[in-house]
Structure 1
Amino acid sequence: MPDHASAPRTPAFGIWLIVAGVVGWTAAFELTLERLHLLANPAAAASCDFSVLVQCKANLDSWQGSAFGFPNPILGLAGWVAPVIMGVAVLARVRFPGWFWGVFWFGTASAFGLVTWFISQSIFQLHTLCPWCMLTWSMTIPTFYAVTVHVLRIGAIPVTERTQVRAGRLMVWVPLATILSYAVVILLAQLRLDAIPNVFATFFG
Structure 2
Amino acid sequence: MPQRLTHTRPTVMAGWLIIAGAVGWWAAFSLTMERLHLLADPDAIASCDFSPLVQCTANLESWQGQVFGFPNPILGLAGWVAPIVVGFAILAHARFARWFWWVFELGMTFAFVFVIWLISQSIFVLGTLCPWCMVTWVVTIPTYYVVTIHMLRSGILPTPEGVRKAAETLMGWVPVLAVVSYGIIAVIAQLRLDVLGRVF
Return the TM-score normalized by structure 2. 0.95
CA offsets 1:59-99 (integer angstroms, 9 cap, x no match): 00000000111000000000000000111122223111111
- Per the alignment, residue 63 of structure 1 pairs with 63
Between the two proteins, what is the percent identity of the paired residues? Answer: 58
**Cα RMSD (Å):** 1.3
Q: Distance in 2 between matches of 1:13 and 1:138?
A: 16
Q: Does 1:155 align with 2:155?
A: yes
Q: Does 1:184 align with 2:160?
A: no
- Per the TM alignment, residue 44 of structure 1 is displaced from its structure 2 partner at its CA by 1.2
Uncovered stretches (5+) of structure 1, i.e. residues with no partner: none
Aligned residues: 199
- Per the alignment, residue 32 of structure 1 pairs with 32
CA offsets 1:88-116 (integer angstroms, 9 cap, x no match): 12222311111111110111010000000
Uncovered stretches (5+) of structure 2, i.e. residues with no partner: none
Q: Distance in 2 between matches of 1:96 and 1:164?
A: 19
Q: Distance in 2 between matches of 1:20 and 1:2?
A: 30
- Per the alignment, residue 90 of structure 2 pairs with 90
Residue 169 of structure 1: SS of its match in structure 2? helix
Equivalences for residues 79-158 of structure 1 within 5 A: 79-158=79-158
- Per the TM alignment, residue 168 of structure 1 is displaced from its structure 2 partner at its CA by 1.1
157-166 or 167-176, which moves further after superposition?
157-166
- Per the alignment, residue 23 of structure 2 pairs with 23
Q: Distance in 1 between matches of 2:190 and 2:24?
A: 24
Q: Distance in 2 between matches of 1:52 and 1:108?
A: 31
Residue type of the alignment partner of 1:131: P
- Per the TM alignment, residue 10 of structure 1 is displaced from its structure 2 partner at its CA by 2.2
